[in-house]
C-alpha cells in the first residue's frame, strides 16, 4: 500500500466503518451456549470473524446467512468434535476464547491453529490455569504455541488471579467455568468487560465486585440451563474508528463524526487520551443494546496536540497503542507510554515494530521494556516518508497509513488489514475528497 500526503482538511461523518470485532467474535461463540435462534446483524465481514463462523459450524452450529452481515445462528444440542483443524487465522481473541470454551467439553477432541503469526503468540496464559483444574492441552513449547490440541475434560471449580488484565483470558476462563463447576476470577485492573455484560444479558449467573484490596472479582456460577439467544445489531468498533480519530486530531481544522459506535468505557480510553492531548471530543449516548452505543465527534485542536504521559488503564487501550504512537509523533513535546508490556506479544512486537518504523520516518523515539518514549514533530520538519513492514500486524499497517496522511508512506503487508477492517482503504480514500489518493 502506498499512501500519498493529504493536502486538504476534512469534515466527515461515518455511519459505517467496521463493526466491532470483539463483539462479533463473542456473539458467534456465545451463541453456542444458547438455545433457540440467535439473530446477529452487522456482523463484521472480516476474515478473522468469518473464520469464527466457520469454526462454530464445524462444532455443530447451524449458521444461516440472511443478508450481508446478518446471520441466524442455532446452537447444536451438544458441541461435537470437529473432523478438521479449526482455523483462527490471525485472531488471538478467537483462539483464546475457543480454548476456554472447548477445554471443558468432556470426551471431545479439538485442534486450533492459525496463521504463521498467531501460531507464535503465547497461549500458556490460558493453558496453565485451566490445566491446573483438569484441562488437557497439547502443543509446541509445552502447549504455549499453536497448533493446540484439546482433549475436553470435566473441570474442577477454581479461584484464579490473573497476573495480566486481559479480556481474552478472562473470557476464556468464564466460558470454561460456566460449563463446569464455576469459579472466581480476579484481576488487579478491570480489563474490557463486554463479555460479562453480554453473558449476563443472556442469563448467565455472574456477579462482580471490588474487594478490600482493590482487586476486581467475578464470581461465576455454573449454567443450569442454556443461555437465552442473542438479538443484537453490532455497533461500530471504537478501536477501528480510533485510526480516523487520530487522523482528525493530527490534521489542522479537521473534524470527524462516528455514528453507531460502542461507548463502553473500557473501549474508549484511547479517545480519552486524545482529549488529554487537546483534541475536542464529544460523546452522545443514544442507545443501549447489551452495551452503550452512540455518537462520537472529534475536532483537531487549534494549537495542535500536546504531549502526554500514560501509565494507567493500559488494558483499556492496548489495541490502540500503535495509533496513539502516531498521535504522539505529531504532538508538541515528548510523550510516554508505560506498563504496556503486553504489546510485546500481540500480532507483532508492537513496541519494537512501532519504534523502528517511527525512526525510519525521522521521528525521535525510544523503546522501553514496557512501552515507548516519543518526541513529536508537530510541524513535520523532520518527518519523511518511509517503507514500513507491518510484520503481519493489521494495526501497525493502519497506524502508519494514518501517519502517511502527513508525509506519504509505503507499507508492505497491508493485506492483513482485511483481518479486521476490510473497508479501511475506502474510508481512508473518503478523507481526500477531490484530491487524487493513491493506495
Q: Are residues 293 and 396 in the same domain?
A: yes
Across the range 3-25, mean pLDDT stands at 94
Residue 66 covered by a domain: yes
Question: What ranges in 149-291 are assigned the alpha helix state H?
Answer: 167-178, 194-201, 238-249, 269-276
Is 92 part of any known ligand binding site?
yes
Q: Is 140 annotated for ligand binding?
A: no
Are residues 202 and 307 both part of a single domain? no
184 & 243 share domain: no
pLDDT of 439: 56
Any known ligand binding at 207?
A: no
Enter the C-alpha cell of residue 130. Answer: 485451566
Q: Is 125 annotated as a binding residue?
A: no
Q: CB under 8 Å to 134, separation ≥6 — which residues?
A: 153, 154, 155, 156
Per annotation, catalytic residue among 20, 48, 319, 393: 319
The dihedrals phi and psi of 388, each to the nearest 5 degrees, come to -110, 135
Using the 3D structure, point to which of 201, 223, 245 is the last residue of a domain: 223
321 and 250 both lie in a single domain: yes
For the stretch 169-180, pLDDT in tens is 999 999 999 999
Rounded distance, CA 422 to CA 425, Å?
8
Q: Which of 178, 203, 223 is the last residue of a domain?
A: 223
In a domain, 437, yes or no: no
Q: What is the pLDDT of residue 339?
A: 96
148, 39: one domain: yes
**From CA 396, how far away is CA 411, in angstroms rounded?**
9
pLDDT at 435: 67
**Would residue 150 count as lying in a domain?**
yes
Inform me whether the pLDDT recorded for 438 exceeds 60. no
Q: Copy the grid coordinates of residue 339.
A: 506498563
- The band of 214, judged by pLDDT with boundaries at 50, 70 and 90, is confident
The DSSP element (H or E) to which 38 belongs, if any, is strand 37-41
166 is in an annotated binding site: yes
Are 214 and 291 within one domain? Answer: no
* In a domain? residue 92: yes
Check the annotation: does 31 bind a ligand: no
Question: Mean pLDDT, to the nearest integer, of 10-16?
Answer: 93
What is the Cα–Cα distance from 184 to 406, expressed in whole angstroms? 48
* Cα–Cα–Cα angle for 174, 175, 178, rounded to 5 degrees: 80
Q: Would you state the pLDDT for residue 191?
A: 94
Q: What is the pLDDT of residue 16?
A: 85
> What pTM, to 2 d.p., does this model score?
0.92
Phi-psi category of 359—alpha, beta or left, where left has phi over 0 and alpha has psi -120 to 50?
alpha
Instruction: Kindly report the three-state secondary structure assignment for every residue of 403-428.
Output: HHHHHCEEEECHHHHHHCCCCHHHHH
179 labelled binding-site residue: no
**Looking at residue 43, what is its pLDDT?**
97
Residue 229 placed within a domain: no
pLDDT band for position 370 (cuts 50, 70, 90): very high
388 belongs to a structural domain: yes
The verdict on 10 and 76 lying in the same domain is: no
Q: What are phi and psi of 212, to 5 degrees?
A: -65, -20
Looking up residue 61, the CATH number of its domain turns out to be 3.65.10.10
Nearest to 428 by CA among 69, 90, 49, 18: 18
Neighbours of 330 (CB within 10 A): 25
Tens digit of pLDDT for each residue in 75-91?
999 999 999 999 999 99
Residue 212: pLDDT above 90?
no
Find out whether 96 is annotated in a ligand binding site: no
Query: Three-class SS of residue 148?
Result: strand
Whether 162 and 292 map to the same domain: the answer is no
| 216/239 same-domain check | no
Measured distance CA(330)–CA(250) in Å, rounded: 6
Task: Tell me which residue range forms the domain holding 71.
Answer: 21-223
21 among the known binding-site residues? yes
Do 49 and 195 share a domain, yes or no? yes
For residue 177, tell me if it sits in a domain: yes
Which of 178, 202, 223 is where one domain is finished?
A: 223
Task: Write down the H helix ranges in 304-349.
Answer: 321-329
Q: Is residue 436 part of a domain?
A: no
The mean pLDDT of 273-293, rounded to a whole number, is 95
Dihedral sign of CA atoms 22, 396, 339, 172 in order: positive
Asked if the model's pLDDT at residue 229 lies above 60, the reply is yes
Task: Give the whole-number percent of the chain exceeding pLDDT 90.
Answer: 94
**Residue 259 marked in a binding site:** no
Q: Please state, rounded to an integer, the average pLDDT across all residues of the chain.
A: 95
133, 61: one domain? yes
Q: How many domains does the chain have?
A: 2
In the predicted structure, residue 116 carries a pLDDT above the cut 60: yes
Q: Where are the beta strands (DSSP E) in 289-437?
A: 292-299, 309-310, 334-337, 364-368, 371-375, 387-389, 409-412
Has 319 been annotated as catalytic? yes
**Residue among 385, 257, 277 nearest 334 (CA):** 277
Query: Given this model, what pLDDT does residue 433 score?
Result: 83
Does 8 share its domain with 139? no
Amino acid at each position: 500500500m502506498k499512501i500519498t500526503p493529504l493536502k486538504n482538511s476534512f469534515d466527515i461523518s461515518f455511519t459505517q466503518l467496521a463493526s466491532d470485532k470483539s463483539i462479533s467474535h463473542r456473539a458467534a461463540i456465545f451463541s453456542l451456549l444458547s438455545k433457540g435462534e440467535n439473530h446477529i446483524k452487522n456482523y463484521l465481514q472480516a476474515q478473522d470473524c468469518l473464520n469464527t463462523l466457520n469454526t462454530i459450524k464445524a462444532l455443530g452450529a447451524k449458521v444461516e446467512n440472511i443478508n450481508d452481515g446478518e446471520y441466524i445462528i442455532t446452537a447444536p444440542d451438544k458441541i461435537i468434535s470437529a473432523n478438521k483443524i479449526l482455523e483462527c487465522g490471525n485472531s488471538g481473541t478467537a483462539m483464546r476464547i475457543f480454548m476456554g470454551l472447548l477445554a471443558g467439553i468432556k470426551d471431545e477432541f479439538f485442534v486450533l491453529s492459525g496463521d504463521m503469526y498467531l501460531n507464535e503468540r503465547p497461549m500458556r496464559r490460558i493453558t496453565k490455569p485451566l490445566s491446573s483444574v483438569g484441562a488437557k492441552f497439547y502443543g509446541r513449547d509445552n502447549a504455549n504455541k499453536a497448533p493446540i490440541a484439546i482433549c475436553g475434560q470435566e473441570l474442577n471449580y477454581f479461584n484464579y488471579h490473573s497476573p495480566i488484565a486481559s479480556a481474552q483470558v478472562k473470557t476464556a476462563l468464564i466460558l470454561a467455568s460456566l460449563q463446569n463447576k464455576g469459579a472466581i476470577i480476579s484481576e488487579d485492573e478491570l480489563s474490557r468487560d463486554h463479555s460479562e455484560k453480554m453473558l449476563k444479558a443472556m442469563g448467565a449467573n455472574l456477579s462482580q465486585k471490588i474487594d478490600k484490596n482493590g482487586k476486581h472479582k467475578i464470581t461465576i456460577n455454573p449454567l443450569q440451563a442454556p443461555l437465552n439467544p442473542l438479538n443484537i445489531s453490532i455497533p461500530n468498533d471504537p478501536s477501528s474508528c480510533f485510526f480516523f480519530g487520530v487522523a482528525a486530531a493530527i490534521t489542522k481544522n479537521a473534524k470527524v463524526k462516528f455514528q453507531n459506535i460502542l461507548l463502553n468505557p473500557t473501549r474508549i480510553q484511547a479517545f480519552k487520551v486524545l482529549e488529554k492531548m487537546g483534541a475536542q471530543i464529544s460523546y452522545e449516548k443514544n442507545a443501549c443494546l447489551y452495551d452503550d452505543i452512540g455518537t462520537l465527534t472529534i475536532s483537531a485542536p487549534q494549537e495542535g496536540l500536546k504531549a502526554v504521559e500514560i501509565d494507567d488503564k493500559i488494558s483499556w487501550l492496548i489495541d490502540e497503542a500503535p495509533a496513539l504512537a502516531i498521535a504522539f509523533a505529531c504532538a508538541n513535546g515528548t510523550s510516554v507510554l508505560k506498563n504496556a508490556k503486553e504489546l510485546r506479544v500481540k500480532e507483532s512486537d508492537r513496541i519494537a515494530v512501532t519504534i523502528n518504523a517511527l525512526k525510519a520516518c525521522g521521528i525521535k523515539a525510544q523503546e522501553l521494556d514496557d512501552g515507548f518514549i516519543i518526541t513529536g514533530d508537530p510541524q513535520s520538519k523532520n518527518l519523511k516518508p518511509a517503507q514500513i513492514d507491518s510484520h503481519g500486524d493489521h494495526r501497525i499497517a493502519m497506524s502508519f497509513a494514518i501517519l502517511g496522511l502527513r508525509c506519504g508512506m509505503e507499507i508492505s503487508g497491508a493485506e492483513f488489514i482485511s483481518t479486521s477492517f476490510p473497508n479501511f482503504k475506502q474510508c481512508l480514500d473518503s478523507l481526500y475528497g477531490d484530491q487524487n489518493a493513491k493506495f
